[in-house]
Structure 1
């Protein structure tokens, strides 16, 4: 219906030009070739000379039987999947010594985001190197005691002591190793020359910096995130669908998104997740749809969108949008009733327009037209205006 109104508005400015064309064609034709609709007892009849029809560049065609998508309409918002969003911080806290990125900057996986200073970092590295060295010595002692025990030179008690000390040291070494990994320090590359109280918090994946929560010199704790990184190349729409419609949904069904301020632009996606639970208060379920070609769209996280979910097809009879016009709060189409050597006879029929899709509008005839009727596809608004 909206498409029909838009088509009417867009073509109104062309009506006067069309009337002039018809008038010009009428003046150049013989008196018998003028429009005679005004003299017809049936006000729905329109007569045009063939010259008028040709000059006006009208097109004819049959009613079109096709399938229109059966839609479930809802609203939602665009978001980043949780696995593509990360807030990076230091698990031990510290002072922000440097900020290496800016808001919106593209970063690669492993790239330094901020640097944090804390003497505790230095102590962990020191403990790791000392424990690693001690574990090496204890391993040698254990191997020696084991060989002596085989030859009955050393007692089993000494062997057990060496084994216990080695195990305890290895446990501590592994715990310190895990701490270093949490600090994003590679234990295998740590040496006495590389000890530092400063560490770099690195990007967990390639993406863009969406938030910077800290400032230079600020002290942060383990609970404080420093930088948020997102991957905007993958977007999804979060929506709610009422329980009466939820049984029609399946994973993979096509979904269309439109922004409020750009209703002429449509984006495509597909349902990826359907919640198995109905919210008792809202009487609806959460549904997630992945946006197709996210990196190439105008959509951004947080945007509100209108959503059409395609759940099937409906057989309809339709005509091009410009074949339908409004007059006196009613809608009409014009079909060809007949012709003679010089004239074409048309009749307008009242219709009830329905949904519009892909340049076509669904119609229901108030009066049944003749079988195999041929309709004027374009400039119907101008034609009817010229008869008034």
Structure 2
């Protein structure tokens, strides 16, 4: 019986030793980890050295895409009237001078009639004024007649010029207006090329001069508009780079540059507005005014020794790396870290390691925390 038990004990020990040949071995020193070649390859592990990496100081901000004030126009009729015809939909492309809608009002007829009457009187009154001016110079007529002719001519000329301006605002050409083409319907043209972004008017609707019927937006000069806190203002300057991300797609980054920094602080939320331009002009077509974005303004750049973030493990606010000792052995070492940027983390105590020291830069986390 003693011999049988001894034999069974030996067999169990041999099986245990065989089973552990493919696992990471930890020696009496718990900071030393042994990794087999199979583990290294199957875990896609990578070793590397400390490198010098650029670190940017980042000011984070929220905002939206916007257009300059001159690229967005609220269109209204200068004169009250009923909408006769409108066929626009939000998103329709429009060109400068294109008719957006027409409005109708019988009062338009009276303006045209008054203009034609003033135009007809003006020729006679001008001739009479010039004749009275010559007569008064020769003392042939009285000053009273001359002043009367002058007054009637000046008043009628003012009426003529005023009505001519009104007709221009009504989009009626005063030079071609005659009694045969007087009309009660006028058209309202687009003041710029762009898109009809809002359409408030409907057919038959009564429009007052202050009512906004259509909003036209030109998106060619779409720019970045961000808000930063006042404490970050001294760090932000024109020409600095901006990383822009859409709130529904944080993985895609668009490049921009700071164009203008507002010098006034919003008293309500203590923020400052930053204006920027997209570096790639073709990106403008991807966005629309009002789209919310998140931005990172890169204020300063410094070079620091660093390792990939994946090479460092945080355990109870202590940071560890695995330092390669030989082909199969790594040692867990406590380090000091600084800033993190673009997938790299700053190593503050890099001088503690030799230049040729190698670290496990991929696959270290699971081994360190085991």
Scaled by the length of structure 2, what TM-score is found?
A: 0.78
Once the 2 structures are TM-superposed, how far is the Cα of residue 207 of structure 1 from its aligned partner?
A: 1.0
2:13 is aligned to none
Equivalent in 179, 194, 198 of residue 211 of structure 1: 198
Deviation at 1:38, TM superposition (A): 1.5
Q: Any conservation in 2 of the 1:183–1:199 contact (CA below 8 Å)? A: yes
Q: Identify if the C-alpha distance between structure 1 residues 290 and 195 changes in structure 2 by more than 3 Å, giving closer, same or farther.
A: farther
Q: 1:382 to 1:281 in 2, by over 3 A?
A: closer
Q: Counterparts in 2 of 1:114-133, with a 5 A limit?
A: 114-133=101-120
CA 329–38 in structure 1, closer or farther in 2 if over 3 Å, else same: farther
Change (3 A) 1:223 1:35: same
1:71 aligns with 2:58: yes
Confirm or deny: 8 A CA contact 1:62 1:373 kept in the other structure.
yes
1:7-26 to 2 correspondences below 5 Å: none
Question: What is the Cα deviation at residue 216 of structure 1?
Answer: 0.9
For 1:294 and 1:183, the matched residues in 2 are separated by 38
Q: 1:311 aligns with which of 289, 299, 313?
A: 299
Q: Deviations over 1:232-271 (max 9, x none)?
A: 2333444443332223333343333323221112233344
Match of 1:141 among 104, 128, 131: 128
Show the counterpart of 1:379.
Answer: 362
Matches of 1:155 and 1:304, distance apart in 2: 76
- Kindly indicate whether the alpha-carbon contact (under 8 Å) linking 1:46 and 1:345 is maintained by their aligned counterparts in 2: yes
The answer to whether the Cα contact below 8 Å between 2:324 and 2:360 also exists between their aligned partners in 1 is: no
- What runs of 5+ residues in structure 2 fail to find an aligned partner? 1-17
2:344 maps to: 361
- Provide closer, same or farther for how the CA distance between residues 365 and 51 of structure 1 changes in structure 2, counting only shifts above 3 A: farther
Distance in 2 of aligned mates of 1:132 and 1:274: 54
For 2:191 and 2:248, locate their aligned partners in 1 and report how far apart those are by CA, in whole Å: 35
- Partner of 1:91, secondary structure, is coil
Residue of structure 1 in register with 2:4 after alignment: none
Could you say what secondary structure the match of 2:85 adopts? Answer: strand
CA distance in 2, matches of 1:329, 1:247: 32
Counterpart Cα distance in 1 of 2:120 and 2:299: 66
CA contact (8 A) 1:37 1:43 kept: no
Instruction: Report which of the two structures shows the higher radius of gyration computed on alpha carbons.
Output: 2
Tell me which of 268, 274, 285 is aligned to 1:288. 274
Question: How many residues get paired?
Answer: 349
* 1:188 and 2:175 are equivalent in the alignment: yes
1:1-388 pair list within 5 angstroms: 38=25, 40-46=27-33, 60-282=47-269, 284-292=270-278, 293=280, 296-297=283-284, 298-324=286-312, 332-338=320-326, 343=327, 345-351=329-335, 355-358=339-342, 360-364=343-347, 369-376=352-359, 379-381=362-364, 384=367
Give the secondary-structure state (helix, strand or coil) at the position aligned to 2:220.
coil
**Cα deviation digits, residues 276-315 of structure 1 (max 9, x gap):** 3334453x13313134157625443333332322222244
1:347 offset after TM fit, Å? 3.6
- The one-character-per-residue Cα deviations of 1:332-385 (angstroms, maximum 9, x if unpaired) are 4444445xxxx4654444456655444x31233578642214445753348848
SS in structure 1 at match of 2:186: strand
Q: What is the CA deviation profile of residues 198-246 of structure 1, one whole-angstrom value per residue up to 9, with x for unaligned ones?
A: 1111111111111111211111111211111112233344444333222
Query: Alpha carbons of 1:280 and 1:152: their partners in 2 closer, same or farther (altered >3 Å)?
Result: closer
